[in-house]
Amino acid sequence: MKKWFSITLGIVTATGGFLDAGTIATAGESGAKFGLGLIWAVVLATIEIILLVEMVGRFTAVSKKTYADAIREDFGFKFYLFPLLSEIIAESLLLAAELGGIAIALSLFTGISWHIWFPVAALLVLVMSWRAPFDWIENGPALFGLLTLSFVIAVVALGGPSHDTLVTLWNPDVKQGDLADYLYLVAATLGATISPYLLYFYSSGAREEGWSGSSLVLNRVTAFLGMGFGSVGSMALIVLGAIVLRPLNMNANTLGEIGLAMAKPFGIIGSLLFASVLFVTCLGAALEVVLAVSYNIAQGFGWEWGENKQPVKAARFNLTIIIFLLVAVVIRLIGLDPLHLALLASTVIALFLPISLFPFLVLMNDPQYLGNKVNGRLSNLAVILILLIAFVVALVSLPLEVLTGGG
Amino acid sequence: MSIWHWNLRITSRRNHCGFWRKGSLCGLLLILIGLLTLTTGCQVNQQAFERIAGDAGAAFSAASTTLNYFHHGQITNLYARASFEEYQQELGGLDRQLPLQQGVPDKHTIEQLLVVYKQAMQVIDHPCLDTLCNWHIQLASLDRASQAFLKAGGQ
């Protein structure tokens, strides 16, 4: 009975925790600009994240080591600094975007400027990451995140996509001069979903919960069903953007206007549902990002770590949380708004994916860690192929967007 | 153990030189992709002016929809207020930015755009979010700006 409860909870939290500022921003903008023309990127990214989450869970359960521990052990400390550095750069941008998402959600509820809410959001994340037990952080926001399923209901309430919109699924409406924009959103979609922080967080979480070989079923079901269902919310948001925002020539360039897609079928309740989803998903993601980076640094440097430990028992781990939050606040001062920051962060993540994840693939093929549970050839190939697509698209589109002031 | 597994494993522990040699080859490949991107950039991307004008047109359309939804009871006053703050940040300062962009049209067209822009920005700065003002006039001003900028953006 307890096992089934764990499995259900795993699926529910993975489903609810799928969206964040990056996925909401990319999905809304994709639908508004290109109709259903980027659904394929969500499907591709979902396949990749399912494979990676299953792998990192299997790795931790079998080897009893976290991902960061193993990289340092296997490749040495100097090599470990490469993925760590890429992780810190990309995730600090993402953390700033998640804090901005929380701030904008609070602003949509209260009418008070999101600039005022931004430091409050940082403080909220700090307090929760210091005081809340790991179970709360993992399950709380994700359970509320199930509200994302309201996006699916909204699509049904609006009668689904018209024939003209449906055509964009296989024939995206990419006008002349829009290709760079399209590629940028492909990269951002892949980067927003395939976030390495999720792997560090998942791996550390599995250690905090003492996973072993008997947890492999839970791991597999969580990865496949949870991430699979989670991506439905992201796709529904693309469809909503395509049905509601695109005919009105809106670009979904702000987070508030993405919520208008929910106001059309459900009125005030719909817009507030969107603000609630934005709040809980960004809060959950901000906590996961800040903890994942702190886990990564603490494990890599061999410090005491653990969310369930008192701050004084893992002082440097908790100090890292504070410093990382401060870095995110400083990034915010550069002046980019949260939506554009989320898109930029997601694309930068896509660009760094090979650095972050190729060492992981090597570990996943090492029988010294995994015995007979090493990766199969097909999953290796699938992961490498999707990583390379994300990397090349990000490499091509990022300079173009920066040069023309887009993004 | 398959050859595939062996290859990946050897990279990790036993052949770091091979790894770095492959790394420099990858680096060269990346530089080539980067150069290709920069040289073909103009073919796959819009002119800066068109892009900014198109985005502004979309933002004015979003503002118009927000105002419309508010007066039809589909969003709260607070939601509308917060949204207009976002539009203000997105559209503010465009009158200084726009004439300096690559691909800018003739002076007359720019001047016409800026007239429409200034009228619409008054709405963005002071949207009619109660029953005491005439929101229909504001809506018309936002729609006019949206259409003008979308047209200038080639949409």
* 10-residue averages of pLDDT along chain A (407 residues): 65 71 92 95 92 91 87 86 86 92 96 94 91 74 80 96 93 82 90 84 81 84 84 94 95 94 96 94 89 86 78 84 91 81 86 85 91 90 89 84 60
Closest residue in A to B30 (Cα) is A395
pLDDT of res. A234: 93
How many CB atoms sit inside 10 A of residue B99's CB?
15
Contacts of B89 in chain A (CB under 8 A): 337
CA-CA distance, A324 to A319, in Å (whole number)?
Answer: 9
Burial classification of residue B153, based on how many CB atoms lie within 10 Å of its CB (0-12 exposed, 13-18 middle, 19 or more buried): buried
How many CB atoms sit inside 10 A of residue A39's CB?
24
DSSP letters, chain B, are --HHHHHHHHHHHT-HHHHHHHHHHHHHHHHHHHHHHHHHHHHHS--HHHHHHHHHHHHHHHHHHHHHHHHTTSS-HHHHHHHHHHHHHHHTTHHHHGGGSTT---HHHHHHHHHHHHHHHHHHHS---SSSS-HHHHHHHHHHHHHHHHHHTT-
Using CA atoms, how far residue A284 sits from A141, A143, B74, B79, B126, in Å, is 5, 10, 28, 22, 35
Give me the residue from A257, A395, A405 closest to B34, CB to CB. A395
CA-CA distance, A157 to A151, in Å (whole number)?
Answer: 10
pLDDT of res. B51: 87
List the one residue out of B86, B71, B60 whose CA is nearest residue B129.
B71
CB of B38 within 8 Å of a chain A CB? The answer is: yes
DSSP state of B75: S
CA-CA distance, A29 to A182, in Å (whole number)?
Answer: 10
CA-CA distance, B139 to B63, in Å (whole number)?
Answer: 9
Inter-chain touch A260–B89, beta carbons under 8 Å? no
Q: How many residues does chain A have?
A: 407
The two three-digit tokens of residue A400, written as one number = 């173009």
CA-CA distance, A45 to A20, in Å (whole number)?
Answer: 14
Contacts of A400 in chain B (CB under 8 A): 37, 41, 44-45
CA-CA distance, B129 to A248, in Å (whole number)?
Answer: 21
pLDDT of res. A291: 87
List the one residue out of A64, A157, A2, A116 whose CA is nearest residue B82.
A116
Contacts of A270 in chain B (CB under 8 A): 74
Inter-chain touch A107–B82, beta carbons under 8 Å? yes
Determine the residue type at A201: F
Contacts of B50 in chain A (CB under 8 A): 177
Give me the residue from B8, B52, B79 closest to A271, CB to CB. B79
Q: pTM for the full model?
A: 0.86
CA A312 to chain B, closest CA, distance in angstroms equals 36
The per-residue pLDDT of chain B, averaged, comes to 79
CB A69 within 8 A of CB A295: no
Inter-chain touch B155–A403, beta carbons under 8 Å? no
Inter-chain touch A405–B52, beta carbons under 8 Å? yes
Alpha helices of A76-131 — where are they, by DSSP H? 77-110, 114-131
CA-CA distance, A265 to A256, in Å (whole number)?
Answer: 16
List the one residue out of B121, B80, B68 whose CA is nearest residue A111.
B80
Q: Which of A65-79, A275-289, B37-51, B92-106 has the lowest mean pLDDT?
A: B37-51
CB of B30 within 8 Å of a chain A CB? The answer is: yes
Is 90 exceeded by the pLDDT of residue B145?
yes
pLDDT of res. B2: 42
CA A74 to chain B, closest CA, distance in angstroms equals 7
Contacts of B82 in chain A (CB under 8 A): 104, 107-108, 110-114, 256
CB A92 within 8 A of CB A348: no
List the one residue out of B135, B92, B129, B5 whose CA is nearest residue A111.
B129
| Residue spans per domain, chain A | 2-403
B residues 75-94 closer than 8 Å to A (CB): 75-79, 81-83, 85-87, 89-90
Inter-chain touch A406–B51, beta carbons under 8 Å? yes
pLDDT of res. B6: 38
For testing contact with chain A, the best of B1, B10, B11, B12 (most A CBs within 10 A): B12
Name the pLDDT band for B26 (thresholds 50, 70, 90): low
CA-CA distance, A117 to A127, in Å (whole number)?
Answer: 15
B residues 93-152 closer than 8 Å to A (CB): 146, 150
CA-CA distance, A298 to A304, in Å (whole number)?
Answer: 7
Determine the residue type at A351: L
CA-CA distance, A393 to A188, in Å (whole number)?
Answer: 9
Rg (CA), chain B: 25
List the one residue out of A345, A92, A245, A106 whose CA is nearest residue B82.
A106
The two three-digit tokens of residue A382, written as one number = 């699938």
CB A137 within 8 A of CB A129: yes
Using CA atoms, how far residue A83 sits from A93, A272, A306, B8, B149, in Å, is 16, 39, 21, 17, 44
Is 90 exceeded by the pLDDT of residue B127?
yes
Determine the residue type at A178: D
For testing contact with chain B, the best of A186, A240, A257, A373 (most B CBs within 10 A): A257
Average pLDDT on B22-37 reads 57
pLDDT of res. B126: 95
Using CA atoms, how far residue A334 sits from A11, A338, A345, B37, B65, in Å, is 38, 11, 14, 27, 30
Tell me which CATH code domain A2-403 carries. 1.20.1740.10
List the one residue out of A148, A109, A211, A159 whose CA is nearest residue A16.
A148
Burial classification of residue A110, based on how many CB atoms lie within 10 Å of its CB (0-12 exposed, 13-18 middle, 19 or more buried): middle
The two three-digit tokens of residue B52, written as one number = 């900014």
